[in-house]
Amino acid sequence: MNTAERRIATSVLVIGTGGSGLRAVIELAERGVDVVAVGKRPKADTHTSLAAGGINAALATVDPDDSWQQHAADTLKESYLLANPHTVEIVTRGAARGIEDLERYGMPFAREEDGRISQRFFGAHTYRRTAFAGDYTGLEIQRTLINRAAQLDVPVLDTVYITKLLVRDNVIFGAYGFDLNDGTRYVIHADAVILAAGGHNRIWRRTSSRRDENTGDSFRLAVEAGGRIRDPELVQFHPSGLIEPENAAGTLVSEAARGEGGVLRNALGERFMERYDPERMELSTRDRVALAAYLEIKEGRGTPNGGVWLDVSHLPRETIMQRLPRVYQTLLELQMLDITTTPIEIAPTAHYSMGGVWVRPEDHSTDVEGLYAIGEASSGLHGANRLGGNSLIELLVFGRIVGEAAAAYSAGLESQRRSASALDEARAEVDVLLASDGPENVRSLQRVLRNTMTEHAGVVRDEAGLLAGLAELDALGERMTKVGVHPDIAGFQDLAHAFDLKSAALAARATIEAAIERRETRGCHNRSDFPTLDPSLQVNLVWSGPGVLTREELPPIPAEISALMRDVDTAGKLVE
């Protein structure tokens, strides 16, 4: 057993090397601050690279009447009033600067003939404010940030799995982890730690995340360190994820497919959106389309595989090749299916954690001194329905702000007090798992958990199902004490999966307990036993451990913003 330890000391440690983590890294390096970034998957292949649609900012390059105030109003309206107005203002005001930063780093945005950045409609936006690069915007952003971090010579460790944050008297002093390839342990001492390790949507059976990402790592690391989770029940289900092949279940079919004129039909051939949103049809909001597809399948009008049909075959071949190249390519590769002639079988898929670690709006600091959270790991911007294109701009705005805040925090520390017992505890946690040789297989327990969440806490929920889900989580917890962990010649992936499972179990419990408490239907959260919106539940639910939930009031929306909040016509627009 490899118990060799590598010790690193740095001013700031960033956990996660997606868009938000790298933007924070760049901010710190440009300020001359010592920073190290670690990730459990290669930085060129983080979740940010999958984002297709675009990135929002009220640049007013195409629609001169646009403003950050209107962007804020659209965001709050779509959030079903659960977004924090302060957070929303910071992001929408800072968005243009976020785009400028990307331009400065060399991002190849699509442009108009006169050189202005192109902007298109996306979801419930009043104006065209989504900048893009083909249908692979996230990939280009990630490449741009990787290149800038490389220019700044920032150390990025691609194969380090963080198992525990190191805390003494509610003050962070670093993190503990291991190398995924050879098991070398890492003790990283840091003045400040930025948590950018994603959300928790991998805990469902069909998800747009890959197998080893978004397993709730941020949630577990934060809660065990003394932080809290806000709104874990608010998870966005994307309407169009593939069903087959099994190993790629949940892979997204971009909503551009519906935006360009794709039609949804059930197994009877009916264009079912007529029943749910006859005005907007397939261009309805993400939560409405996902709910409609779910109900068609649930009520027995789904395809044999439990899906619905998305058909673009009536569109000119040229349109498909120009506007949907990635969708065309993906279906050919995964299913040998030609979307110019044949409909695509899809079903709703867990896509985005709108809740996350509890943070303060102004600097995304947490309950633990010196610990920050950003990106999908954090909360406050999206409420009960995320406005398409907002997640990418959030990474840039708060990456910059948190980098600045962590730099100032580190510079202001007079000394750092460490704790030998906290380090011993982190060490022992890894030792115990490596020594465990029980009969339970980690991967099969992950499958059990995903089935539980899909069955009882999916698109539509009710009290009986959620309580049954909690009972299944209790039984799973018992089985988790009997796992066998077996590193092999290929590396320490099995140990990583065991920690992923711990994280997923905590995130699942938080999600179900908050979903029980939110006895209403609002945005992405559908309770069949409470089908209407309850004004008294216009609050954030904050979870700080099993059975411990509090309600948090939201600050009022400024009058200049609320005056601009209105229903937005989606005719002729790309959906989110």
Whole-angstrom distance, CA of residue 271 vs CA of residue 140:
36
Q: Which two tokens stand for residue 357?
A: 């670690």
Whole-angstrom distance, CA of residue 306 vs CA of residue 513:
28
List Cα–Cα distances, 93 to 85, 137, 360, 522, 541, in angstroms.
12, 21, 17, 27, 26
Is 206 tagged catalytic? no
Whole-angstrom distance, CA of residue 73 vs CA of residue 562:
6
Cβ atoms of 231 and 354 within 8 Å: the answer is: yes
Q: ω before 546 within 30° of 0 (cis)?
A: no
The catalytic position among 47, 120, 148, 258 is: 258
Whole-angstrom distance, CA of residue 317 vs CA of residue 97:
38
Residue linked to tokens 């990787």? 146
Torsional sign, CA 548, 551, 552, 557 = positive
Buried b (16+ CB within 10 A) or exposed e, 289-326: bbbbbbbbbeeeebbeeebbbbbbeebeeeebeebbeb
562, with CB counted inside 10 A (0-12, 13-18, 19+), is middle
The catalytic position among 238, 386, 400, 461 is: 238
Any bridge partners for residue 344, and if so which? 310
Of 327, 284, 292, 343, nearest in space to 53 by CA = 327
Whole-angstrom distance, CA of residue 551 vs CA of residue 517:
10
Is 258 tagged catalytic? yes
Residue linked to tokens 């009882």? 456
Whole-angstrom distance, CA of residue 365 vs CA of residue 345:
43
Residue linked to tokens 């050919």? 332
Whole-angstrom distance, CA of residue 236 vs CA of residue 53:
16
The catalytic residues are: 238, 258
